[in-house]
Copies of this chain bind each other. A is one copy, B any other.
Amino acid sequence: MLHFDCDYMEGAHPEILQRLVNTNLEQTPGYGCDPHTEQARELIRRACEAPNAEVYFLVGGTQTNATVIDGILRRHEGVLAAESGHINVHEAGAIEAAGHKVLTLPQHLGKVSAADVEHYIDAFYRDETWPHMVAPGMLYISHPTEFGTLYGRDELEALHDVCQRHAIPLYLDGARLSYALASEENTLSLADIARLCDVFYIGGTKTGTLFGEAVVTTRPELLPHFFTLVKQHGALLAKGRLLGVQFETLFTDGLYLRIARRAITTAMKLKRAMLAKGYRTYIDSPTNQQFFVLPNREIDRLSQFATFELWGPRGEEESVVRFVTSWATEERHIDELIEKL
């Protein structure tokens, strides 16, 4: 059976696991106050060309979003996000559980447009009743989006500008950031992202670590007393050095990008094969999530050999499916799948 359900079906990339094995019996203080974590912070700062950035490590994505957003917002503020944004749909109300409203914007292939942000904020403050409403206090975007699509450099600059103009922080959820960086269509480096976003996170869970997300900010004053907030959110790992060791490895010798590339290569090969077979994409994604419209009988046939996700409800004759590749996908897996098409 071939598996394309998601990009977190395996453990860690072997180099990362090996490093955990090698350092296993070292004795270090907890909570991220250890040399590995310090080194990981430094390596990430360099990769981001942001020597003054602060870096914090948390365990998972929902946790990271909830903690960062709770850290940035004041009680009267909410977070702007695409209606399809992960925080609005798939985080079990974690943002609201911390007291904050998600203020939704239209999604365009999963993306938020600067024009919509501008319009929202303008309309908000032109409405005389605005003090009775939740103020837009920050902007959340995901990159790649939940549909695998990417912001172009001009788009991110426009979002940066509109956020600056209205003095609201821009926060980027990079759960799958490696797959953006490795995409052929990518126009944004880590340094660009560090420059254009106030806070963002570099996802580890979906790119080779057992778990872990690295929050990076060039404006640490936005997250005052963040250590305590991380603890309060239950997001402080006792053996914090596990996060340090993993990210240290990811950001040594370009491992992060290197292992993401393979996921892109295999995803593109699959897309080309699908198109060659006469099928069409549902959304044209340049990253490791691929969405196709397939006849139901083809879906049923393929299900004998491979696992993948039905995207939304099953249609009358054809349906949308999602295939996800990852750092662990090998070329032969895709070749086998293509053979079965």
Contact = CB atoms under 8 A, between A and B. Distances in A.
Interface of A: 3, 5-6, 8-12, 14, 17, 20-21, 23-30, 59-64, 66-67, 70-71, 74-76, 78, 89-94, 96-102, 104, 123, 126, 129, 131-135, 205-206, 210-211, 224-225, 227-229, 231-239, 242, 313, 328
Given A63-B235, A99-B99, A74 B224 contact: yes
Contacts of A101: 93, 96, 102
Given A94-B233, A225-B135, A11 B6 contact: no
A132 B231 contact: yes
For the residues of A in contact with B, the DSSP-based class is loop
Contacts of A62: 231, 234, 236
Contacts of A242: 11, 210-211
Given A75-B70, A237-B60, A94 B232 contact: yes
Number of copies: 4
A302 B75 CA distance: 40
A131 B32 CA distance: 13
B29 A11 contact: no
* Residue among A60, A227, A313 facing the most chain B CB atoms (10 A cut-off): A60
A135 B237 contact: no
13 contacts: A5-B29, A10-B239, A11-B25, A11-B26, A66-B234, A75-B232, A76-B229, A91-B132, A92-B132, A97-B99, A104-B104, A131-B227, A211-B238
A11 B205 contact: no
Given A10-B26, A11-B20, A205-B239, 18 more contacts: A3-B27, A8-B239, A9-B27, A9-B28, A10-B24, A10-B27, A17-B21, A59-B237, A90-B129, A91-B232, A92-B132, A94-B232, A96-B134, A97-B232, A98-B99, A99-B99, A104-B104, A126-B313
